Structure formats: structure tokens, C-alpha cells
Copies of this chain bind each other. A is one copy, B any other.
């Protein structure tokens, strides 16, 4: 049976990602705003609401290394965008909670982020194509079908 060529997928995937990412990050930098790593973190914390998130939970959600989260949290805390609460259940841990300033910042980033991303993506696709592309990309993220490994 015919085999799909994985490079025909990977090469444009890498380039498309690099290209869209670059336009978004450039737009954020021009607006004097922090990058997508800060945005993603603030987003997760805002979703978590008042309960906040443990650093290791953030680590799983964002696919970052442990020390990455540790230092990201440090910077965001220094910028006043999140608060570190001591964790009652576990003396080793802490709970990260977004501050009002953090939520405001997330909103400011979002305005620029969404506009730039839309500009970078929308013009290239019809709605049907966009849906199909999203669907196919999602397949890469699901665990592989057992019979194909």
C-alpha cells in the first residue's frame, strides 16, 4: 500500500508555523507587548479563575519544561501579572493566580494577537478549506490509531 510522504507534511508545516508566528510576534513587539508565552500563561490562569493553577499543571497545559514554568512565573510575578499563593494542600507547592493587571494585559495582548493572526491566516483560505485544515491538523495531535504504528 502507498505510504504518505511525511516530509511533504512536515516541511510546509514548519514553514507555515514559522511564518505565522513571526508575523504575530512582530506585531506584539511593535505594540510594546509581551510575547505569546506570556499570553498563553495568562490565558490559562484566567481560565482557571480564582482557584488558580499549580506550576506543574501549567507545565502540562503549555508543554513547557519545569524550569521554564518556574522562571516564566517569576517574571510574570515581578511584572505584577500574577500572584503566587502558598498552597495549603501541599507544602512543596504554590498556586499561581492571575491579578487584575494580568487580566488587563491579556486583553491588550489579545487585541493585537487576534488581529495579526487573522491577517496572517484568513486571506489564504475559504471557510471550507480552513475547516478541513483545522481538522487534519487536529489528527496530528490525537494519539495515533493503534493499527498504524
Name the interface residues of A41-59: CB closer than 8 Å to any CB of B. Answer: none
A59–B64 CA distance with the chains assembled, in angstroms: 28
A79 at the interface (CB under 8 A from B): no
Name the residue of chain B whose CB is nearest to the CB of A63.
Answer: B18
Interface residue from B3, B13, B114, B132 paired with A13 (Cβ < 8 Å): B13
| A residues neighboring B (CB under 8 Å) | 2-10, 12-22, 63, 114, 117-118, 120-127, 129-134, 136-142, 144-145, 148-149
| Inter-subunit contact B134/A12 (CB<8 Å) | yes
Please, how many angstroms separate the alpha-carbon atoms of A130 and B130 in the complex? Answer: 16
Flag if B13 contacts A137 (CB, 8 Å).
yes
B residues less than 8 Å from A3 (CB atoms): 122, 127
Kindly report how many copies of this chain are found in the complex they form together. Answer: 2
**B148 & A9 in contact (Cβ 8 Å cutoff):** no
DSSP majority for the A interface? helix
**A125 cross-chain contacts in B, Cβ below 8 A:** 4, 9, 136, 139
Residues A127 and B6 in contact in the complex (CB < 8 Å), given A140-B20, A140-B121: no
> Besides A9-B121, A12-B140, A133-B136, 20 other CB < 8 A contacts?
A4-B121, A4-B122, A4-B127, A4-B130, A6-B120, A6-B130, A7-B117, A10-B20, A10-B121, A12-B138, A13-B137, A14-B17, A16-B140, A19-B140, A20-B140, A22-B63, A122-B148, A124-B142, A124-B144, A124-B145
